[in-house]
A = this chain, B = another copy of it.
Amino acid sequence: MRALSNDVFLRALRREATTRTPVWIMRQAGRYLPEYRATRAQAGSFVQLMKNPELACEVTLQPLRRFPLDAAILFSDILTIPDAMGLGLYFEEGEGPRFERCVRTPDDVAALEVPDIKAELGYVFEAVARIREQLGSSLPLIGFSGSPWTLMTYMVEGRSSRDFKHAKAMLYATPEAAQQLLNKLVAAISQYLLAQIDAGADALMLFDSWGGALAANQYLEFSLKPMQRILSAIKAAHPTIPVIVFSKGAHAQLDAMSHSGADALGLDWTISLAQARRICGGRVALQGNVDPTVLLADPAQVRTEVRLALESYGHGHGHIFNLGHGITPDVRPENLATLITSVHELSPEFHRN
């Protein structure tokens, strides 16, 4: 394990004792920061920014220069793998991600090849290595991937969706084809995350953004099981690298998730940390879960919500403070500073013996 001057995040992931609650923010390198918007303008587009290791490194580091965060997270996108599979990722302004080709039929699935991830996604690993070098021994770096099911939704729909109709219909109508697609994604994602560790990632996160759209039994079969196979592949090679699983909105499945082999679970704001902690019974650390909308209120309200979240988790270790989803572009950076300062000031009392 890498020796880091600030390892409070990694220790909290392992549910070891810490003197305060660590904090990082999903999408901390993002549009709410003027310096991010300037670098993105320099790159030309989101995709060009993400594929430029030097600029991806720069935007990863920007929030760390402003705020006393406890982790860096690779600046990238969850759709790098489908793009490397030849689907042609692009972004329609104001519309989110799109693919030039989508995967709708069993024949489409059969034709899809697992790419040589190391070769195709070199720009990601180069960014990880640059960030790792810039961070030195200061802070841990989080690598990440979209989950197999979440990547499948974009690949089948060809874009973001509200109901995931085509992707879910594939699960019900041609489950073998769906499994074949998920198998290919498990292979690609496992390679991808292992290569991020090789390049310098200290912890990993699986973003299962759309796990919460599935029926309970379908979630277990088509979202959680594929993630568990990735967890096994990572743990076999790197038993000490912690992995966070974030199935947004899938709270009815928290008990199963807490037995999945994940070290920590991400939570959105729709379940209290107290309830989630009871359900998970100390088997995992918990990350979250303030509603990003809180950052649109005034600083006093932000501080109140930080206190409420800390009280909800309660006394003891194993909590990583975060929002319940990514920070939104309309947040004033001063409000995020208030949130982070509040965690630093208010959390030590929850860690005293």
The reply to whether A293 and B252 form a contact with Cβ atoms under 8 Å apart is: no
In the complex, are the beta carbons of A269 and B215 less than 8 A apart? yes
Expressed in whole angstroms, the minimum distance between the Cβ of A223 and any Cβ of chain B is 11
B249 and A169 contact, CB distance less than 8 A: no
Q: Does A95 belong to the interface (CB within 8 Å)?
A: no
Are B216 and A272 closer than 8 Å at their CB atoms? yes
Which A281-315 residues have a C-beta within 8 angstroms of B? 290-291, 293-294, 296-298, 301, 305, 308
Q: Which residues of B contact A217 (CB under 8 A)?
A: 272, 308
Is A172's beta carbon under 8 Å from chain B? yes
A236 to B218, CA, bound (A): 42
Given contacts A250-B270, A270-B252, contact A297 B216 (CB under 8 A): no
Question: A163 contacts the other chain (Cβ, under 8 Å)?
Answer: yes
Tally of this chain's copies: 2
A/B interface sample: 21 pairs, CB < 8 A: A163-B293, A163-B328, A165-B293, A165-B330, A168-B293, A169-B293, A172-B301, A173-B297, A173-B298, A173-B301, A213-B270, A215-B269, A215-B290, A215-B291, A216-B270, A219-B270, A250-B270, A251-B252, A252-B270, A252-B271, A252-B272
Interface string of A221-251 (1 = CB under 8 A from B): 0000000000000000000000000000111
Partner pick for A296 among B169, B214, B272, CB 8 A cutoff: B169
A290 vs B219: C-alpha distance when bound (angstroms): 14
Task: Kindly state the separation between the CA atoms of A330 and B308 in the bound complex, as whole angstroms.
Answer: 44
Q: With A213-B270, A272-B217, A301-B172 as known contacts, state yes or no: A165 contacts B252, CB within 8 Å.
A: no
Question: Which residues of chain B are near A272, meaning CB under 8 Å?
Answer: 216-217, 252
For A308, the closest partner residue in chain B by CB is B217
Given A173-B301, A328-B165, is A270 in contact with B249 using a C-beta cutoff of 8 Å?
A: yes
A353 within 8 A of B: no
Q: A216-B270, A216-B271 are in contact. List 12 more A-B contacts (CB 8 A).
A: A165-B293, A168-B291, A172-B293, A172-B305, A173-B301, A214-B270, A216-B272, A216-B275, A249-B249, A249-B270, A252-B272, A252-B275
A171-201 interface bits toward B, Cβ cutoff 8 Å, 1 = contact, 0 = none: 0110000000000000000000000000000
Q: Which residue of B lies closest to A220 (CB)?
A: B272
**A169: nearest chain-B partner, CB-CB:** B296
The verdict on A212 contacting chain B, using a C-beta distance below 8 Å, is yes
Q: How far is the CB of A344 from chain B (nearest CB, A)?
A: 22
| Complex: A250 Cα to B214 Cα, angstroms | 15
B169 touches A270 (CB 8 A): no
What's the minimum C-beta distance from A30 to chain B, rounded to whole angstroms?
15
Q: Which chain B residues lie closer than 8 Å to A216 at the CB level?
A: 269-272, 275
Instruction: Report the separation of the CA atoms of residues A256 and B119 in the bound assembly, to the nearest whole angstrom.
Output: 52
State the Cβ distance, A5 to closest chain B Cβ, in Å.
Answer: 34
Q: How distant is A118 from chain B, measured CB to nearest CB, in Å? A: 36
A308 cross-chain contacts in B, Cβ below 8 A: 217
Q: Name the B residues within 8 Å of A291 (CB-CB).
A: 168, 172, 215, 218
Distance (Å) between the CB of A321 and the closest chain B CB? 15
Q: Which 6 A-B pairs have the closest CB atoms?
A: A252-B271, A172-B297, A168-B293, A216-B272, A215-B269, A169-B296
